[in-house]
């Protein structure tokens, strides 16, 4: 029996209340840390908040962001009947693993930077290298999101005589390399205006890629709940806003610079629950075989849907686009009478 998302939450998390608590813990903890910084004048808010976020990401990886289990694989007979769908799911898992590893590496760099700010006075060159490494982690995560979207949107494995395109690892790698080269150039020549514009554009592209990925999860074949997808659509907005926190200029007032710094920490804190919700949604898709179903039925519909819909409409509509009369329809072949024929 395949469980709906709500039923699966009740089984795994004992209902939505436990899930809400699971997602709210990072926000509540970050808020308490902010109060400690504001009223108790404790300057470790950014450090503690970043450490909390990294711990949550490592926890997700540890409990099985991509751990294999019997529930994650279709039965043997399904593998024999739908090898292409099974291979596509495995490709998705590889990209999913790359995304979480990129996020973990990004937050590790952020934590190192916060420790350096609090504990030691490091040279400017070292800080520039850490900034480049942070950008590398962020762009790697965006590239992984693009690969996840690509696996969901296009045929990437061979099916019979139809050749799959495979995972475009080379495109993702080239994108990351070009991005880090341009960022490093602006950083080391100290071209602040160019660096600011580039970071804003990179954040916009990252948000756009993330929106494309979430949009694929909104497919009705996957049957993800509307409330979950609706919440997830706010995540790309945070990604785009994050780019504006990188604005740097000596002419900026100290108050505005402090506002941007605090805004960066707040956006990182808000982004964590979205990551956790995305993890829960994808975990449900994998455990209940929803992703396998999507790769099998959705791919067939994408490859042959237009042809079959065209045949269906040809039998039921005249040349002017009006429905045929009932007597004419009764005389037509009945092979298109059921929606199941679309998936043959």
Q: How many CB atoms lie within 10 A of CB 235?
A: 20
Residue 240, CB half-sphere, CA atoms under 13 Å: how many?
12
What are the phi and psi torsion angles at 41 (to 5°)?
55, 45
| Predicted local distance difference test score (pLDDT) of residue 189 | 85
Helices (H), 120-250: 124-153, 169-188, 192-217, 226-232, 235-244
pLDDT in tens, 287-307: 888 888 888 777 666 666 556
Low-confidence ranges of the chain (pLDDT < 50): 39-41, 67-75, 77-78, 80-81, 318, 320-322, 329-330, 332-344
Q: Which residues partner with 317 through β-bridges?
A: 323
CB crowding 249-270: b at 16 or more within 10 Å, else e: eeeeeeeeeeeeebebbbbbbb
Burial (0-12, 13-18, 19+ Cβ within 10 Å), 240? middle
DSSP code of 44?
T
Give the model's pLDDT for residue 88: 85
Confidence at residue 173, expressed as pLDDT on a 0 to 100 scale: 93
Q: Is the dihedral of CA 4, 9, 14, 20 positive or negative?
A: negative
Query: Which pLDDT value is given to residue 150?
Result: 92
Strand partners, 162: 159
């Amino acid at each position: 029996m395949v469980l709906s998302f709500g039923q699966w939450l009740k089984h795994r998390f004992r209902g939505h209340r436990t899930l809400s608590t699971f997602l709210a813990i990072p926000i509540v903890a970050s808020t308490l840390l902010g109060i400690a910084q504001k009223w108790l004048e404790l300057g470790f808010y950014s450090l503690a908040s970043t450490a909390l976020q990294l711990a949550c990401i490592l926890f997700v990886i540890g409990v099985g962001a991509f751990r294999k289990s019997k529930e994650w694989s279709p039965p043997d007979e399904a593998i024999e009947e739908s090898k292409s769908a099974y291979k596509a799911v495995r490709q998705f898992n590889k990209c999913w693993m790359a995304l979480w590893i990129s996020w973990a590496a990004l937050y590790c760099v952020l934590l190192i930077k916060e420790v350096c700010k609090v504990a030691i006075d490091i040279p400017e060159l070292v800080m520039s290298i850490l900034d480049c490494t942070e950008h590398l982690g962020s762009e790697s995560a965006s590239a992984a999101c693009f690969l996840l979207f690509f696996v969901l949107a296009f045929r990437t494995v061979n099916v019979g005589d139809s050749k799959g395109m495979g995972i475009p690892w080379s495109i993702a790698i080239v994108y990351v390399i070009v991005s880090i080269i341009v960022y490093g150039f602006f950083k080391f020549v100290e071209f602040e205006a160019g660096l600011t514009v580039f970071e804003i554009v990179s954040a916009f592209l990252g948000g756009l890629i993330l929106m494309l990925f979430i949009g694929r999860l909104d497919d009705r074949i996957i049957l993800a709940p509307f409330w979950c997808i609706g919440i997830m659509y706010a995540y790309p907005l945070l990604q785009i806003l994050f780019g504006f926190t990188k604005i740097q200029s000596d002419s900026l007032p100290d108050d505005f610079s402090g506002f941007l710094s605090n805004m960066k920490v707040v956006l990182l804190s808000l982004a964590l629950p979205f990551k956790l919700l995305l993890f829960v949604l994808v975990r449900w898709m994998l455990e209940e075989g929803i992703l396998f179903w999507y790769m099998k039925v959705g791919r067939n519909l994408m490859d042959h849907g237009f042809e079959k819909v065209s045949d269906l409409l040809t039998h039921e509509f005249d040349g002017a686009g009006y429905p045929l009369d009932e007597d004419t329809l009764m005389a037509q072949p009945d092979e298109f009478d059921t929606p199941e024929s679309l998936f043959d």
